[in-house]
Structure 1
Amino acid sequence: MKPLEEFITSWKDTPSKTKLAFTQIYEHLKTLEDITLEFKARPKVSFSLRPRHSSQKNRSLFAMVDVIDDDPEERWLSVCFYKEMITDPDQAGELIPEGLLGEDGYCFDLYEYDKDEIKYLKQRLSQAWKNAKE
């Protein structure tokens, strides 16, 4: 994951601490078993981390963690899941019809670091990982 590590190293964090939020999410993903991580860089658009469970057959990912790069001085995160892979008991996400690779999904936007929101997103990631097994 050299390009991902280079991206993280070169990212200068801001007072919003979205880099810290991203790295905590990334570290959580690395604790999940039987996954691969794909990194897609599209500078000035997004940097996308895409986890996939090794037993997934029909989908290329179970979540998408995007660093939105429309303003590199103030990047923000959008973490998305397929609708049927997670629950959203706090109703913190936004349902996006056909918003995740052409399928309905929930997206959670994070504009600044919030430990409770990070905890909630980690719970959703673990839930999606568990439900991704086919």
Structure 2
Amino acid sequence: MAEAGKFKELDVLLNKWKDTEAKTKKAFLRLKEFLERLPEVILSFKSRPGVSHSLRGTHKNQKDKSLFVMVDIIDDNPENRWLSVCFYGDMIKDPDERGDFVPGGLLGEDACCFDIETWDEELLLYVEKRISEAHEAASRG
């Protein structure tokens, strides 16, 4: 679980980020809160202004991989940010084939990424299921 005040860079970003009609800030906050509610999750944040801001979820039991999900705020156009939620390809299934396979796309390993460019309740629910699936896989070490 995230500690209050732990992510000053994230707090600054969120305070400056003015959401658009696409509601990607709202979508990010929903996924962040979803991750914060999962048991035994350690969250970290890496900011690369002009490129991306990454919220990373790791399970306390994980040994082989450094995270189970990366929620990226793509920052190449700060007026029109969007999200890319990535998982290691071997930690989730994508039964509806809504994600993009990205060879070497997550810290050098094959990934499955879901782009969220506008608020989409159905896609958010689908991604939350993938987060739960990856969390479960990560809990096994």
Q: Is TM > 0.5 for Structure 1 vs Structure 2?
A: yes
Alignment of 1:34-113 (within 5 A): 34-113=40-119
CA shift, 1:82, in A, is: 0.4
Structure 1, residues 47-96: CA drift from partner, whole Å, max 9, x if none?
A: 00000000111211101100000000000000000011101011000111
Where does structure 2 lack aligned partners over 5 or more consecutive residues? 1-6
Amino acid paired to 1:47: H
Structure 1 unmatched runs, 5+: none
- Cα RMSD (Å) of the superposition? 0.9
Match of 1:22 in 2: 28
Query: Aligned letter for 2:26?
Result: L
Who is 1:121 aligned against? 127
1:9-43 Cα deviation digits (max 9, x unpaired): 22110111100110000010001010111100111
C-alpha distance in 2, partners of 1:8/1:115? Answer: 21
1: CA distance, partners of 2:58 / 2:15: 24
Q: Which runs of 4+ in 1 moved over 6 A?
A: none
Determine what percentage of the aligned residue pairs are the same residue.
Answer: 51
TM-score calculated relative to the size of structure 1: 0.97
Task: Give the TM-score normalised by the residue count of structure 2.
Answer: 0.92
Secondary structure at 1:73 match in 2: helix
Deviation of 1:7 (Å): 1.9
- Separation of aligned partners in 1, 2:69 and 2:46: 13
Aligned residues: 134
Quick one: distance in 2 between partners of 1:7 and 1:83?
A: 29
